[in-house]
Amino acid sequence: MSVALFGSRLSPFVEKVVRALQYKGLPFTLAPPRSPLDFKRWNPQTGKMPVLDVDGARTYDSSLILRRLDELVPEPALFDRNPSVAARQRFLEDWSDEALYWYGMGLRWSAVNASTTVAQLISDIGAPYLLRPLLGFVLQRQIQGQAIAQGLQRLPLAVLTAELGLRFDELQVWLDEHPFFFADRPSAADLAIFGQLHMLQSGPTPQAAELIAARRWLGEYYARVDAATGVMGPR
């Protein structure tokens, strides 16, 4: 079986899939974007990452990719065998992808963090030096526009940061005494949350990094998921 993953690990959704592949012990190659044209080449439908290619058949969207991985390699499963637990894990995975993500985007594209975010993205893509100003303008206009349209990015930075802290505290309630969400081993919910925490600690959002550092339980949880899913890397 030949497995390739397209995307940058700066993306919480790509990191989510990387962790799933490693958790299942499935060898893969990682193809990071090296040009804005790569996005449409890998994903003509939406031009987004991640994209999973298995023997030439491609799957788009991180949640659909994880379900595909469960079909290919059933164990360890990415959802609990108990339907009630699995339903909660699916709900939290979706909440992480569709709600928690936008707190991070709001912080990344706030006035104080936007320039650092642009520099990080340009460096990651590895664009030619002469094209970097144009690429930076395009990235900021497109992605920042999405964050503004979603709504959280319009909040004052202090309010947005405080709200993210409340979401972290609510996650602690959901985690309760379990090492992972609703279970004793990682699930898709944990991989999704891990991806968001990974992005929030990647550099451009010191406000989020401070919130995480102030919550010992959250750092310990992050380390548990990392230990359980970080055994192998891409070829």
Close Cβ partners of 23 (under 8 Å, ≥ 6 residues apart): 76, 78, 186, 191, 228, 229
For the chain, the structural domain boundaries read 3-72, 83-229
Radius of gyration over alpha carbons of the chain, in Å?
18
When pLDDT is cut at 50, 70 and 90, the band that residue 196 belongs to is very high
Predicted TM-score (pTM) of the model is 0.91
Close Cβ partners of 131 (under 8 Å, ≥ 6 residues apart): none
83-126 residue pLDDT tens: 999 999 999 999 999 999 999 999 998 989 988 998 888 777 76
* The pLDDT of residue 211: 98
Is residue 234 predicted with pLDDT exceeding 80?
no
* The pLDDT of residue 140: 65
Is residue 129 predicted with pLDDT exceeding 90?
no
* The pLDDT of residue 145: 66
The pLDDT mean for the chain works out to 91
CB 167 within 8 A of CB 182: no
When pLDDT is cut at 50, 70 and 90, the band that residue 128 belongs to is low
**CATH architecture of the domain covering 83-229:** Up-down Bundle (1.20)
CATH of domain 3-72: 3.40.30.10
